[in-house]
Amino acid sequence: GENVEQHPSTLSVQEGDSAVIKCTYSDSASNYFPWYKQELGKRPQLIIDIRSNVGEKKDQRIAVTLNKTAKHFSLHITETQPEDSAVYFCAATPNAGGTSYGKLTFGQGTILTVHP
């Protein structure tokens, strides 16, 4: 099955700096890669996603890049703010077929701390 590795496990930055979180996946059939932000005790919330037919997607201060050949994708947050502090999860979903419909495999999570 799919395996998603996420690095780093913790990331500490100063307000205004950029933060980058990287994930690799194992199943070449995966074609949907969402990123979730989870605050302490709260539900995961989708912040951005990318599909395999594009290489990069941006939404204001957040961007995601995908390299299908190397099987890795990254989250980039620019001009970080203290409210960006949370746990970030990457995930991957394999293609349709078999018993893998919609099944998200998550990375281990990155605890991002933005210091004022």
Partner 1 sequence: DSGVTQTPKHLITATGQRVTLRCSPRSGDLSVYWYQQSLDQGLQFLIQYYNGEERAKGNILERFSAQQFPDLHSELNLSSLELGDSALYFCASSVEGLGGNNEQFFGPGTRLTVL
Q: Compute the least distance from the CB of residue 62 to partner 1, in Å.
A: 15
- Where on the chain is the footprint of partner 1 (CB under 8 A)? 31-32, 34, 36, 42-46, 49, 51, 89, 93-96, 99-109
Q: 3-state DSSP: the chain helix, strand, coil percent, rounded to 5?
A: 5, 55, 45
**Would you say 49 or 63 has its CB closer to partner 1?**
49
Closest approach of Cβ 91 to partner 1, in Å?
8
CB of residue 108 vs partner 1: minimum separation in angstroms?
A: 5
> Smaller CB distance to partner 1: residue 80 or 91?
91
Nearest by Cα to 69 from 20, 28, 21 = 28
Q: Quick one: 14 or 43, whose CB is closer to partner 1?
A: 43
50, 73 Cβ separation under 8 angstroms: yes
Distance between CA atoms of 110 and 28, rounded to whole angstroms? Answer: 23
The tokens for 72 are: 């890795």
